[in-house]
């Protein structure tokens, strides 16, 4: 045993990872487990089916694991005094002022009532500003009018991120502003869109592109050299795959969407990264926020921010809030652990009870809101490796 992780546990970690790697399962993955100063990483498989080997510095699209990073940048700007946590966003986002709210989430777009109050930065961070995803959207026998309208406006906020179709930030927020909210601000948790809006808010607060906000406030201070909205290192970028009944189908190639700057830097799901960059972000939170956030901001980001009334409406499925709640742009478990997964194949879990970080990067898209078995197995094995 060295540094709090047992040798036998780490051997088991590799064995479990190997069980999930294969051309019809996960072509390749990197798993990293860190406790205290000890860091152990395994890189297995290939970047593409029958492609080059995965290495520890391989780059993956992290989809919704982007969200906690967006939250940290938001809290950094709050500390600078550029935005207020409980300030209405109308000053910087007039497109979201004087909102209308649907009487029924699945109802016609013109059947609305006035919003009872303005949207705040806190509402965006907690996903309670009134617009986003609910499971009923995807189980409805007919498309909801608001879903069809969002797709027609190329928001790419209901479903997987798609930088290919999203317009520039000003056009994006203008388009969102033409739609009614699905719920009153502060009423209930709705997934995803709040983090996308935060990217526009931060860009306007600083008068610089959102990518530059992340670079100067998060990436450079933490040494996250390989994290961004695109990468020029396509030789290190894994091919993204979508599972089908007939096997894995390539969804995005290394020279595809994430190999060039997007028009819209999506704070909800647009980043690529590596296990070591995500470890640096985790350690910042575990060490109380230094050098990016204050201790109070790091604590707020990683603690429950929802009221019982907000959670009573449900989340991504009826059991979403069983054993967990929501902090700022990430899940917070009842145990005190926190983190969030990315539907393109990533999971990022931080447990301050054990000073433990578990990061699993693949590029096989999720088939349900819950992470696939490979992520659950590797997290369980990491806990089992604790001395």
| Residue 372 and residue 355 in one domain | yes
- For residue 305, tell me if it sits in a domain: yes
What is the per-residue pLDDT for 1? 35
Last-in-domain residue among 163, 180, 206: 206
Decide: 254 and 239 in contact? Cβ < 8 Å.
yes
| Residue 218 and residue 183 in one domain | no
Decide: 157 and 150 in contact? Cβ < 8 Å.
yes
Last-in-domain residue among 184, 206, 228: 206
What is the per-residue pLDDT for 369? 87
Provide mean pLDDT across the span 64-93.
98
What is the pLDDT confidence band of residue 3, given thresholds at 50, 70 and 90? low
Rounded-to-integer distance, Cα 190 and Cα 196, Å: 13
| Residue 296 and residue 242 in one domain | yes
| Residue 156 and residue 223 in one domain | no
- For residue 2, tell me if it sits in a domain: no
What is the per-residue pLDDT for 62? 98
Q: Which is nearest to 46 in space by CA: 31, 61, 27?
A: 27
What lies within 8 Å, CB to CB, of 365 at 6+ separation is 160, 240, 241, 242, 243, 251, 343, 344, 345
Rounded-to-integer distance, Cα 197 and Cα 96, Å: 10
The burial of 299, by beta-carbon neighbours within 10 Å (0-12 exposed, 13-18 middle, 19 or more buried), is given as: middle
pLDDT of 318 > 90? The answer is no
Domain holding 178, by residue range, is: 71-206
- For residue 178, tell me if it sits in a domain: yes
| Residue 187 and residue 217 in one domain | no
| Residue 132 and residue 216 in one domain | no
Query: Tens of pLDDT along 208-266?
Result: 999 999 999 999 999 999 999 999 999 999 999 999 999 999 999 999 999 999 999 99
Query: Tens of pLDDT along 177-188?
Result: 999 999 999 999
Query: Tens of pLDDT along 95-139?
Result: 999 999 999 999 999 999 999 999 999 999 999 999 999 999 999
We report the CATH number of the domain holding residue 277 as 3.40.710.10
Query: Tens of pLDDT along 6-16?
Result: 999 999 999 99
| Residue 150 and residue 104 in one domain | yes
Domain count, the chain: 2
For strands 272-273 and 247-252, give the pairing. Answer: unpaired
H/E stretch holding 177? helix 169-177
Q: Which is nearest to 157 in space by CA: 141, 173, 143, 140?
A: 173
- SS3 category, 180: coil
Say what angle helices 275-286 and 66-80 make with each other, to 10 degrees.
50
Q: State the DSSP code for 11.
A: H
Last-in-domain residue among 206, 238, 258: 206
- For residue 66, tell me if it sits in a domain: no
pLDDT of 2 > 50? The answer is no
| Residue 163 and residue 277 in one domain | no
Query: Tens of pLDDT along 336-371?
Result: 999 999 999 999 999 999 999 999 999 999 998 889
Q: What is the chain's alpha carbon radius of gyration, rounded to the nearest angstrom?
A: 20
What lies within 8 Å, CB to CB, of 31 at 6+ separation is 13, 17, 41, 42, 275, 358, 359, 360, 361, 378
What are the backbone angles phi and psi of residue 384, rounded to the nearest 5°? -65, -20
Q: Which is nearest to 85 in space by CA: 120, 113, 49?
A: 120
Provide mean pLDDT across the span 176-204.
98
């Amino acid at each position: 045993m060295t540094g709090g992780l047992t040798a036998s546990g780490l051997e088991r970690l590799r064995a479990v990872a190997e069980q999930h790697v294969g051309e019809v399962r996960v072509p390749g993955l990197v798993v990293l487990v860190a406790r205290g100063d000890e860091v152990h990483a395994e890189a297995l498989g290939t970047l593409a089916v029958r492609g080059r080997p995965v290495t520890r510095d391989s780059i993956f699209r992290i989809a919704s694991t982007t969200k906690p990073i967006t939250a940290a940048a938001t809290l950094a700007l709050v500390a600078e005094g550029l935005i207020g946590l409980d300030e209405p966003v109308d000053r910087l986002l007039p497109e979201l002022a004087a909102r209308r709210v649907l009487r029924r989430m699945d109802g016609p777009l013109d059947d609305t009532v006035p919003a009872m109050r303005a949207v705040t930065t806190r509402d965006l961070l907690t996903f309670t500003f009134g617009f986003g995803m609910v499971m009923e959207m995807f189980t409805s026998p007919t498309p909801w009018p608001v879903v069809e309208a969002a797709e027609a406006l190329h928001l790419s906020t209901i479903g997987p991120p798609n930088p290919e179709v999203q317009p520039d930030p000003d056009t994006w927020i203008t388009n969102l502003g033409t739609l009614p909210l699905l719920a009153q601000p502060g009423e209930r948790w709705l997934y995803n869109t709040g983090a996308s809006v935060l990217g526009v808010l931060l860009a306007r607060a600083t008068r610089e592109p959102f990518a530059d906000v992340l670079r100067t406030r998060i990436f450079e201070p933490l040494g996250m050299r390989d994290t961004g909205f695109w990468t020029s290192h396509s030789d290190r970028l894994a091919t993204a795959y979508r599972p089908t009944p007939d096997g894995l189908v390539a969804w995005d190639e290394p020279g595809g969407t994430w190999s060039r700057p997007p028009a819209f830097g999506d704070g909800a799901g647009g980043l690529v990264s590596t296990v070591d960059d995500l470890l640096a972000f985790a350690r910042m939170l575990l060490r109380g926020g230094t050098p990016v956030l204050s201790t109070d901001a790091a604590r707020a980001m990683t603690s429950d921010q929802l009221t019982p009334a907000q959670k009573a409406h449900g989340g991504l499925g009826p059991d979403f809030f069983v054993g967990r709640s929501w902090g700022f742009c990430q899940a917070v478990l009842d145990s005190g652990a926190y983190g969030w997964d990315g539907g393109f194949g990533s999971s990022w879990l931080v447990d301050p009870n054990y000073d433990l970080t578990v990061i699993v990067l693949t590029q096989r898209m999720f088939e349900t809101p819950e992470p696939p078995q490979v992520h659950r197995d590797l997290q369980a094995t990491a806990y089992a490796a604790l001395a």
